[in-house]
Amino acid sequence: DEKLQEIHESLKKGEAPHFKEDDRGTLWYKNRICLPNVDNIQKLILSGAHDPAYSIHPRSTKMYYDLKERFWWPGMKRSVAEYVAKAEHQRTTGLLQPLKVPEWKWEEITMDFIVGLPRTQQDYNSIWVVVDRLTKVAHFIPVNTTYSGARLAELFSTAYHPQTDGQTERTNQVLEDMLRACAIQYGTSWDKCLPYAEFSYNNSYQASLKKSPFEALYGRRRRTPLF
């Protein structure tokens, strides 16, 4: 694996402080074993975490956090998301049938929580994500949740329809990336970035719609200084 080989070389030069090599030559990232992209090792790990009956086909975010307790490789989160998306696409229909497409805007929604975020000055530590199933318009609401809040999200979500659930999960992944980029670029807390992230998400093109969520809801994109 070229990428891990580069890390090996950096480690020898003392330029990879978070990595270490044990006496058997195994590379570690902190307390996680580094898996090379050879001999389908990464694919075997993904399959073992997703396919067995005791895994119940976990959603990609849960699967990623489970795997990251023990393993690491470059682009691991994307590998997990792509594997789960492909597996969901290929799964045959059985007792669980896909939910029908709603006829009206905001007739049906999906909801989820992004929890465990750094607590802000306003005492927020989570995001309530609400998505319209038809237009894909999303609302990102900062909240202060406890276990009961997470449990509420579990009850209200479509987690019991694993063939169709995934809209809020995909939205969560995009939102997390947007907030991370916003916080790094502007040096502010994630809750201050949330309105900008919501606007950007809803005003961005989505392949499944062939337009932006704002266009699907209002018939046109929202105005920006550029457009």
Q: Do 113 and 74 share a domain, yes or no?
A: no
What is the structure's pLDDT at 169?
A: 72
Which tokens sit at 183?
Answer: 């916080």
Banded pLDDT at 33 (limits 50, 70, 90): very high
Q: Do 200 and 135 share a domain, yes or no?
A: yes
CATH code of residue 72? 1.10.340.70
Which tokens sit at 157?
Answer: 């979500």
Banded pLDDT at 199 (limits 50, 70, 90): confident
How many domains are contained in the chain? 2
DSSP conformation class of 20: E
Q: Do 143 and 58 share a domain, yes or no?
A: no
Q: Is the pLDDT of residue 64 over 60?
A: yes
Least confident of 43-57, 81-95, 110-124, 149-163: 149-163
Q: Is residue 132 a part of any domain in this protein?
A: yes
Q: Do 120 and 202 share a domain, yes or no?
A: yes
Q: Do 148 and 182 share a domain, yes or no?
A: yes
Q: Do 147 and 79 share a domain, yes or no?
A: no
Residue where a domain terminates, one of 24, 59, 90: 90
Q: Is residue 97 a part of any domain in this protein?
A: no
Q: Do 123 and 70 share a domain, yes or no?
A: no
Q: Is residue 96 a part of any domain in this protein?
A: no
Domain membership of residue 35 as a residue range: 2-90
Q: Do 118 and 17 share a domain, yes or no?
A: no
| pTM for the model | 0.49
Are the C-beta atoms of 120 and 189 separated by less than 8 Å?
Answer: yes
Q: Do 129 and 213 share a domain, yes or no?
A: yes
CATH code of residue 127? 3.30.420.10
* Cα–Cα distance measured from residue 14 to residue 171, given in angstroms and rounded to the nearest whole number: 39
pLDDT above 90 as % of the chain: 4
Q: Do 126 and 206 share a domain, yes or no?
A: yes
Contacts of 93-99 spanning 24+ positions with Cβ under 8 A = 93/163, 96/161, 96/162, 96/163, 97/163, 98/161, 98/163, 98/164, 99/133, 99/158, 99/161, 99/164
| Cα–Cα separations (whole angstroms), residue 81 to 84, 86, 187 | 5, 9, 28
Residue where a domain terminates, one of 32, 56, 90: 90
Q: Is the pLDDT of residue 160 over 70?
A: no
